[in-house]
Amino acid sequence: MTVQEIQGIKQRFGIIGTNSALNRAIEVAVQVAKTDLTVLITGESGVGKEHFPQIIHAYSARKHGPYFAVNCGAIPEGTIDSELFGHEKGAYTDAKTERRGYFEIANGGTLFLDEVGELPMSTQVRLLRVLETGEFIRMGSSQVQKTNVRVVAATNLDIPKAIQEGKFREDLYYRLNTVEIKVPALRDRREDIPLLFRKFAVDFAERYKMPPVRLSEEATHLLQSYYWNGNIRQLKNVAEQVSIMETNHDISAETLREYLPQNEMQHAIQLAHQPETSDSFLNEREILYKVLFDMKRDMSEMRQQLNGLLAGQPASNPAPINQEDYQMAEEIKEETTNLEELEKESIRRALERAGGNRKVAAQALGFSERTLYRKIKEYDL
């Protein structure tokens, strides 16, 4: 797609930013829209996943059909089956009339299942059936009905982890994940943060009949350095608070800092000193571990050399072996063991921070992916 075409889509659906990963996600959405493949949209909460099923529907052959968005996490477990598949009169105590579910009323169109990872296991079984066969049964009925619905699902959960914990069906995951669209976190598209804040500031200025707030250079840098655990949703909330509460519309970094939760400020300090291409989740402990890894490697080499000398292997400059050599060898062995424990712990923490993504964890730790795989096996992680 051309830059102009992507920009046109952004304007149509209210997407702001120039980040390459965001552009790629838009390209994939438009490309897959021409098919009837099931799509899984992944990304953290608040990144704007809801735009992509709308793009898919608008550029598909179903664009004149119905479009429904269902937040699976907001519907009580006892009524989710009725919402999705409908029910007959008398199916349960409060079922005084029959009801058509979303799979029935969205026939010929697109159904967006947001927070699909929150579905109970019993509903997952029914969902898998309708995805595979296009068939479903209303609650309280024995009659099989057919539907022709294109399903787009979204989640902010680590589904592979949920599968391991027995909370999500593996066969449903593979059925949903025919095509995956990854929406980047706000901290991974820092160049877009000032654009988004400016847009929100203008919107709130129009809403509340006041001049828009303006950020100083230092405030803009702080904004870009911040971790944004809540992503775009959190940024919008901060922009609204600043717009309403500040009478001085020229916002300094000191003023802005009052609106940023302190539990994320350490992330902000760390990000501020990282180059644009650095991974966002490194902290001081990971940096210390990387220094320790180098020490461990050096000490391992020393241990091998001393072990060779103690075993009587020839050396380029042979020297007498005394008690101090034996003591040094034992100390190096002990220190190497301690460093190995630190290395194991740092790898475990890096994997947790990366949500199990080994590529991201390897980059953060300064390893190649192959080295990380070897160490995971070595430490039985």
Q: What is the pLDDT of residues 14-39, one digit of tens each?
A: 999 999 999 999 999 999 999 999 99
Confidence of residue 142 (pLDDT cuts 50, 70, 90): confident
Sequence-distant (≥ 6) Cβ neighbours of residue 19 within 8 angstroms: 184, 188, 189, 191, 192
d(CA 182, CA 197): 23
Task: Give the helix ranges, DSSP H, for 246-283.
Answer: 253-257, 265-272
More confident residue, 1 or 187: 187
Other Cβ atoms less than 10 A from the Cβ of 137: the count is 17
Contacts of 276 (CB under 8 A, 6+ apart): 190, 191
User: What is the token pair recorded at 146?
Assistant: 């057919």
For the cut 60, the answer to whether the pLDDT of residue 277 exceeds it is no
* Ordered structural domains, the chain, with CATH: 3-184 (3.40.50.300), 188-272 (1.10.8.60), 284-379 (no CATH)
Q: Are strands 135-137 and 179-182 parallel, antiparallel or unpaired?
A: unpaired
Report for 19-28, 262-271, 290-299: range of highest mean pLDDT: 19-28
Could you give phi then psi for residue 113, rounded to 5 degrees?
-100, 95
Per-residue pLDDT reduced to its tens digit, 168-211? 999 999 999 999 999 999 999 999 999 999 999 999 999 999 99
Cβ atoms of 214 and 80 within 8 Å: the answer is no
Identify the pLDDT of residue 324: 57
Pairwise CA distance, residues 305 & 329, whole Å: 9
Using the predicted structure, report yes or no on whether residue 257 has a pLDDT greater than 50. Answer: yes
Per the rule left: phi > 0, alpha: psi between -120 and 50, beta: everything else, 365 is: alpha
Q: What is the mean pLDDT of residues 138-160?
A: 93
CA 313 vs CA 307, 319, 331, 339: distances in Å: 9, 11, 20, 27
Read off the pLDDT of residues 321-363 as tens digits, 9 standing for 90 and up. 455 555 555 555 555 556 667 677 778 877 877 777 777 777 6
Position 244 scores a pLDDT of 94
Q: What Cα–Cα distance (Å) separates residue 9 from each residue in 5, 48, 242, 305, 375?
A: 6, 14, 30, 63, 44
* Most distant pair of Cα atoms in the chain: their distance: 96
**Which of 225-253 are b and which e, b meaning 16 or more Cβ less than 10 Å from the residue's Cβ?**
bbbbbbbbebbbebbbebbeebeeeebeb
- 287 or 262, which is more confident? 262
Return the percent helix, strand and coil in the chain, to nearest 5. Answer: 55, 10, 35
Torsion over CA: 289, 291, 294, 296 (sign): negative
DSSP 186: G
pLDDT higher than threshold 50 for residue 128: yes
